[in-house]
């Protein structure tokens, strides 16, 4: 049955913790008068780091080697520790009469090179500083800082002096960049530096690129050549090369592969070079909230998260291979260890969304299936009882949540790959692993429990809702606890009991609210009786509307126009909120019908808000906004002065007393009241909110006249550049026009 039931009497709806033993790896990577139609998104700070790597978007330093003499160093020559009065090489820089000079002898790889820094001119009393050196392979042109320049020795100037000696050990063939600074404030010199490139070569100290190439060559000879096997071999090889640098100094692939020390940035950078050389696409995941960075890698066409730093742990406290715990995780599981990652992977700009566990180490190696099998009897006992939802306490509930949560997420994946039956019939089991338990949802063979689906209608009163018309057996009617369960697009569930269902013409009507942006999403519904699940039904606003659009002859022109306008309204909401834009609600309409919104030019000027108020009354109206949830709301904001209390005032809408709610925005305290249930045909109707003192209810302190179209007018006047919001107000206007026409 496809009928249009539109009764305009409602409104338009529209773990992680870082454990003590793991925390040591935190590197310190390091309108007035108008509201907004928006969804809140947490902010993520930029990474504070001076590290420049090949696989990040860090600032790149281009290299010109035309003036660099190559120093060929024999392993038995040692001049770096020889005390001399003269030096073989020098570099200078001059400013305001001050000349900075750095001198050094031919470097010997693996031994300290002394850099003698001095100056002439100026006050004669100087302060010097050495920046963290950078390195590139001989055939590359982008430097990477070998140490974290934002920490320790690289941050400090010397006390006043005339010269100073610095030392640094070069450990790889290639090109090192050195920068020395001088400060002589007496003559206005605050940022004078030398910028020197030194090329060194010694077969006993190969370049980073050579080390990477040799490792990948060995990897290819010892694996089957698959992305998974190569990534795992290189992961394990890297962990054998270095130790975590608890001084937090060394932060590069050079330090990781030639010094055997590194912070998380070193692990990430070295692994990125290894993966790239092996032909595996990868990217950096940089979590500023937790001061940490790790890799994302693409294996067999799917992205995975891998944290080599946290895997570099050989104490198997938790009965699993701790060196593989963070290899091949989803974003959700990685966020259990690094909570700041949640804001990253849910952001619109995130490019390496990781949702698969197919190439997780424990899944591929078989441990996940073994762990899942330990729960099999407990799961089967529940299936034999035909329950649809249940929980089981996790065997590892005493582990730290960042360990147990990840392990249980992997176990749940293995559980979902297993075949489960009840009474000889295969069932679908969905397991979700958490830190202390597993939660299960079960779909049994679809059978009628005494219900039969007759048809659906669309409710477009104050609430956008899908109505399911059901016939129920007498036995089912007597089940007071039986209910229809709806699974919404956001995976949340709502229920309506038989007792709460409306009745019409012998049918029981079960309703599910849908927000404006969710009109194209499928909603799953099924009856549940005594823990048993009935047949599944799939409904949506778009599915319902599609029949009407394709069969216009069966409906009035007014009904067809209303359906088209509601689809355009839903698509505009999707676009504004950047939600499921690959399946817009109006995609089933012709281009001509979709263009109706952009071609319309409604006049919202007659609906401009009106506010009257008394002066110095302790409360001010701040602004109003429009909320598009399952219902359409008008929300009014107010601000109190420091001497007033919200308890002194009364807010009313007609005969209804409104309850104020407190909200902090931008470090300010506001109070707001909501006027819900704005019906489609009443979007143009004036909403009058009165503020008075409780002791003088007859005195109107603030009288506010505002409606949905007042908001639309404000949007056009104040933020005309927000075309998505403007389009939404146009679509809402057409929806109002057609709703008004339909109910005449």
Same domain membership, residue 689 and residue 610: yes
Lowest mean pLDDT among 226-235, 243-252, 645-654, 726-735: 726-735
Contact 18, 256 (CB under 8 A): no
User: Is 704 or 221 the better-scoring residue by pLDDT?
Assistant: 221
Residue 692: domain span: 605-742
Same structural domain, 732 and 617: yes
> What was the pLDDT predicted at 33?
32
Distances in whole angstroms, Cα of residue 611 to Cα of each of 169, 264, 573, 624: 73, 57, 29, 11
Mean pLDDT score, 447-475: 83
Q: Average pLDDT in the 596-613 region?
A: 86
* Domains held by the chain: number: 6
Residue 212 has pLDDT above 70, yes or no: yes
pLDDT on residue 32: 29
Residue 705's nearest CA partner among 608, 594, 574 is 608
The answer on pLDDT for 50 being more than 50 is no
Instruction: Give the DSSP H or E segment for 640.
Output: strand 632-640
In this structure, is the dihedral angle defined by the CA atoms of residues 78, 84, 89 and 91, taken in order, positive or negative? positive
Better pLDDT: 628 or 462 = 628
* Residue scoring higher pLDDT (191 or 69): 191
Q: Which residues pair with 471 in a beta bridge?
A: 452
Residues 224, 151 share a domain: no
Burial of 74: CB neighbours in 10 Å, binned 0-12, 13-18, 19+: exposed
Least confident of 55-69, 129-143, 306-320, 722-736: 55-69
Give the bridge partners for 468, in sequence order. 456, 510
673 and 640 fall within a common domain: yes
Beta-sheet strand order (sheet of 420-422) = 389-393, 437-443, 425-433, 420-422
Q: Tens digits of per-residue pLDDT, 419-446?
A: 998 877 788 899 999 999 999 999 876 6
Tell me the average pLDDT across 283-293: 95
Residue 565 in domain: yes
Give the pLDDT confidence of 20-40 residue by residue, as tens digits: 333 333 443 433 233 333 333
Query: Given pLDDT bands bounded at 50, 70 and 90, which one contains residue 464?
Result: confident
Domain membership flag for residue 59: no
Res 450: pLDDT:
87
Backbone angles phi, psi at 176, to 5 degrees: -110, 140
Q: Does position 9 have pLDDT exceeding 60, yes or no?
A: no
In a domain, 10, yes or no: no
For residue 241, tell me if it sits in a domain. yes
Residue 184 lies in a domain: yes
pLDDT at residue number 48: 35
CB contact at 8 A, 596 and 566: no
Element of type H or E holding 221: helix 208-222
Task: Flag the least confident range among 92-106, 126-140, 413-427, 458-472.
Answer: 458-472
Average per-residue pLDDT for the chain = 85
pLDDT tens string 54-74: 333 333 344 444 444 444 333
* Tokens matching residue 274: 């290894």
Lowest-confidence segment of 581-585, 652-656, 718-722 by average pLDDT: 718-722
CA angle 607, 613, 619 (to 5 degrees): 115
- Give yes or no for residue 285 having a pLDDT over 90: yes
Amino acid 205: pLDDT? 98
**Range in 251-260, 303-312, 473-482 the model is least confident about:** 473-482
Q: What integer pLDDT is reported at residue 623 of this predicted model?
A: 84
**346-358 average pLDDT score:** 94
Whether residue 292 is found in the same domain as residue 212: yes
Considering the domain architecture, whether residues 138 and 223 belong to the same structural domain is answered as no
Eight-class DSSP state of 256 = I
Q: Which of 165-179, 516-530, 573-587, 712-726 has the lowest mean pLDDT?
A: 712-726
User: Is 362 part of a structural domain of the chain?
Assistant: no
Q: Spell out the alpha helix ranges (H) of 366-517.
A: 367-373, 376-384, 401-417, 474-477
Distance CA 460, CA 474 (A): 31
Query: What number is the average pLDDT over the span 499-507?
Result: 92
State the average pLDDT over residues 589-601: 89
Q: How far is CA 558 from CA 309, 460, 546, 736, in A?
A: 64, 14, 16, 12
Q: Inform me whether the pLDDT recorded for 702 exceeds 80.
A: yes
Tokens representing residue 606 in the block: 């007659």
| The predicted structure's pLDDT at residue 709 | 83
Same domain, 320 and 340: yes
More confident residue, 31 or 269: 269
Nearest CA to 438 out of 397, 467, 474 is that of: 397
Residue 433 to residue 441: CA distance in whole angstroms: 12
Which CATH number belongs to the domain containing residue 500 in this structure?
2.60.40.1930
Residue range 685-701, pLDDT digits in tens: 888 899 999 988 888 99
Q: Which residue has the higher pLDDT, 498 or 20?
A: 498
For residue range 216-225, what is the model confidence (pLDDT) as tens digits?
999 999 999 9
On whether residue 61 sits in a domain, the answer given is no
Higher-pLDDT residue of 265, 735? 265
User: Is 221 found in the same domain as 330?
Assistant: yes
Lowest mean pLDDT among 110-119, 406-415, 585-594: 585-594
- Residue 381, Cα to own-chain centre: how many angstroms? 38
pLDDT for residue 8: 31
224, 351: one domain: yes
* Of the residues 143, 174, 201, the one at which a domain ends: 201
Q: Give the length of the chain.
A: 744
Q: Determine the average pLDDT of the residues in 574-585.
A: 90
393 with 431, same domain? yes
Q: Name the pLDDT band for 391 (thresholds 50, 70, 90).
A: very high
The predicted model scores a pTM of: 0.55
Q: Label residues 159-195 b or e (16+ Cβ within 10 Å = b).
A: eeeeebebebebbbbbbbbbbbbbbbeeeebeebbbe
Phi-psi region of 729 (alpha: psi -120 to 50; beta: other; left: phi over 0): alpha
Domain end position, chosen among 147, 170, 201: 201
Nearest C-alpha neighbor of 198 from the set 109, 324, 269: 109
Do 93 and 146 belong together in one domain?
yes
What's the confidence (pLDDT) of residue 461?
Answer: 58
> Is 480's pLDDT higher than 90?
no
Residue 46 predicted with pLDDT over 60: no
The domain boundary, picked from 404, 425, 443, lies at 443
In a domain, residue 43? The reply is no
Average pLDDT over residues 566-591: 90
Crossing angle for the helix pair 227-241 and 208-222, nearest 10 degrees?
130
More reliable by pLDDT, 211 or 712: 211
pLDDT band at 152 (very low <50, low <70, confident <90, very high): confident
Three-state SS string over 494-520 comes to EEEECCCCEEECCEEEEEEECCHHHCC
Share above pLDDT 70 across residues of the chain, in percent, rounded to a whole number: 87
Q: What does the alpha-carbon distance between residue 645 and residue 590 come to, in Å, rounded to a whole number?
A: 55
474-477 LR contacts (CB < 8 Å, sep 24+): 475/450, 476/449, 476/450, 476/451, 476/527, 476/529
The reply to whether 736 and 643 lie within a common domain is yes
């Amino acid at each position: 049955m496809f009928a249009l039931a539109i009764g305009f009497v409602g409104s338009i709806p529209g773990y992680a913790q870082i454990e003590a033993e793991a925390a040591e790896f935190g590197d310190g990577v390091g309108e007035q008068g108008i509201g907004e139609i928006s969804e809140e998104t947490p902010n993520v700070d930029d990474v504070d780091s001076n590290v420049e790597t090949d696989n990040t978007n860090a600032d790149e330093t281009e290299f010109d080697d035309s003036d660099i003499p190559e120093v060929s160093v024999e392993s038995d020559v040692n001049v770096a520790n020889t005390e001399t009065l003269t030096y073989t090489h020098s570099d200078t820089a001059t400013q305001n009469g001050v000349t900075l000079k750095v001198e050094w002898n031919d470097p010997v790889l693996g031994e300290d090179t002394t850099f003698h820094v001095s100056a002439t001119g100026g006050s004669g009393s100087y302060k010097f500083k050495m920046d963290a050196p950078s390195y590139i392979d001989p055939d590359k042109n982008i430097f990477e800082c070998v140490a974290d320049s934002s920490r320790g020795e690289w941050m400090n100037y010397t006390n006043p002096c005339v010269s100073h000696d610095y030392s640094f050990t070069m450990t790889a063939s290639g090109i090192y960049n050195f920068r020395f600074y001088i400060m002589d404030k007496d003559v206005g010199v605050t940022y004078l530096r030398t910028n020197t490139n030194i090329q060194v070569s010694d077969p006993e100290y190969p370049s980073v690129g050579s080390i990477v190439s040799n490792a990948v060559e060995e990897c290819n000879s010892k694996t089957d050549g698959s992305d998974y096997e190569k990534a795992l071999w290189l992961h394990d090889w890297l962990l054998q090369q270095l130790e975590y640098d608890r001084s937090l100094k060394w932060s590069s692939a050079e330090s990781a592969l030639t010094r055997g020390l590194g912070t998380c940035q070193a692990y990430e950078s070295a692994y990125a070079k290894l993966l790239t050389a092996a032909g595996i696409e990868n990217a950096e995941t940089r979590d500023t909230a937790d001061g940490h960075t790790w890799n994302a890698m693409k294996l067999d066409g799917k992205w995975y998260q891998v944290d080599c730093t946290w895997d570099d742990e050989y104490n198997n406290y938790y009965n699993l291979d701790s060196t593989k715990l963070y290899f091949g995780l989803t974003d959700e599981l990685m966020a259990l260890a690094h909570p700041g990652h949640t804001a990253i992977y849910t952001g619109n700009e995130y490019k390496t969304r990781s949702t698969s566990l197919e190439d997780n180490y424990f899944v591929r190696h078989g441990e996940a299936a073994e762990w899942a099998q330990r729960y099999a009897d407990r799961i089967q006992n529940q299936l034999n009882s035909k329950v649809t939802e249940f929980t089981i306490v996790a065997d590892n509930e005493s582990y730290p949540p960042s360990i147990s949560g990840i392990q249980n997420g992997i176990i749940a994946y293995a559980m979902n790959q297993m075949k489960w039956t009840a009474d000889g019939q295969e069932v679908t089991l969905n397991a979700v692993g958490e830190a202390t338990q597993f939660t299960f949802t079960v779909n049994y063979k679809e059978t009628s429990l005494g219900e039969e689906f007759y048809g659906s209608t669309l409710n477009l009163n104050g609430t956008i809702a899908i109505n399911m018309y059901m016939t129920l057996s007498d036995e089912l009617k007597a089940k007071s606890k039986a209910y229809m369960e709806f699974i919404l697009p956001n995976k949340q569930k709502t229920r309506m009991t038989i007792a709460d269902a409306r009745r019409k013409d012998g049918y029981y009507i079960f309703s599910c609210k849908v927000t404006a942006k969710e009109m194209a999403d499928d909603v799953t519904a099924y009856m549940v009786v005594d823990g048993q699940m009935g047949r599944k039904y799939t409904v949506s606003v778009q599915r319902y509307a599609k029949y009407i659009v394709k069969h216009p002859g069966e409906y009035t022109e007014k009904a067809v126009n209303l359906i088209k306008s509601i689809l355009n309204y839903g698509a505009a909401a999707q676009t504004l909120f950047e939600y499921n834009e690959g399946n817009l609600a109006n995609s089933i309409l012709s281009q001509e019908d979709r263009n109706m919104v952009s071609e319309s030019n409604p006049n919202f000027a007659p609906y401009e808000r009106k506010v009257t108020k008394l002066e110095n009354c302790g409360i001010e109206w701040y602004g109003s906004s429009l909320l598009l949830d399952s219902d359409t709301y008008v929300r009014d904001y107010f601000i109190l002065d420091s001497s007033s209390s919200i308890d002194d005032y009364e807010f009313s809408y007609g005969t209804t007393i409104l309850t104020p709610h407190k909200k902090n925005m931008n470090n300010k305290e506001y109070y707001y009241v909501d006027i819900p249930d704005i019906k489609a045909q009443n979007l143009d109707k004036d909403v009058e909110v009165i503020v008075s003192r409780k002791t003088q209810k007859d005195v109107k302190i603030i009288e506010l006249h505002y409606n949905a179209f007042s908001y639309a007018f404000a949007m056009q006047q104040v933020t005309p550049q927000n075309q998505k919001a403007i389009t939404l107000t146009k679509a809402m206007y057409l929806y109002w026009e057609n709703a008004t026409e339909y109910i005449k």
